[in-house]
Amino acid sequence: MALISLLILMLAGVALISSTNTSLLTAGNLAFKRDLANQTERAVTAVRAQFVSGALLSQTTLYTDQSSQNYWAHALPSTNAKLPGIPDVLLASTKADDITDAATGIRLRYVIDRMCISGTVPDKSICTMGSFVDDKKGTAGVTKVSAGLGPVYRLTIMALGPRNTQTFTQITFTH
């Protein structure tokens, strides 16, 4: 009888340890995913810099694909049933220009696509348009605010982290 009781206690102990390990693994993966979601802000900052003062500053540049800048002037197709809405070009990409953090092992890969049917001058008949506010300096240093319609851009970020953790983030913006 004592041996049976001891066997039951051993099995209960093994089950408890297994349950604890599973809980710790799950909590760890959730923490990695949460951190990756926060890390995607670095890609948002890099893309904003391209539109404000970088390679994507000129409006005419935005009329055509700029693959070296991870930019497409038309909406990218998404055919992956497991990841609907994630552009195929991002999933197939093996580009070496990821934003990387060597200390944490996190890599950020992104694509920007303009929500237009084709790459051309944006027009409301072929593009999803959104309103924006443009703060420009007016006369005598007074800020002149103007509003208008502009094409919507979609930024899709794939964050790759430790333990093969992967998250996707999408934002839309106008420029």
Q: Name residues whose C-beta falls within 8 Å of residue 162's C-beta, 6 or more positions apart in sequence.
A: 32, 104, 105, 106
DSSP state of 85: T
Query: Residue 136: which pLDDT band, with cuts at 50, 70 and 90?
Result: low
Q: Classify residue 31: in a domain, yes or no.
A: yes
Tally of domains within the chain? 1
pLDDT above 60 (res 160): yes
pLDDT for the residue 104? 84
Q: Classify residue 129: in a domain, yes or no.
A: yes
Q: Classify residue 15: in a domain, yes or no.
A: no
Give the range of the structural domain holding residue 148, as residue numbers without chain letter.
22-174
Q: Classify residue 41: in a domain, yes or no.
A: yes
Q: Full-prediction pTM beyond 0.85? A: no
Q: Identify how many contiguous H helices and E strands the chain contains and give both numbers.
A: 3, 6
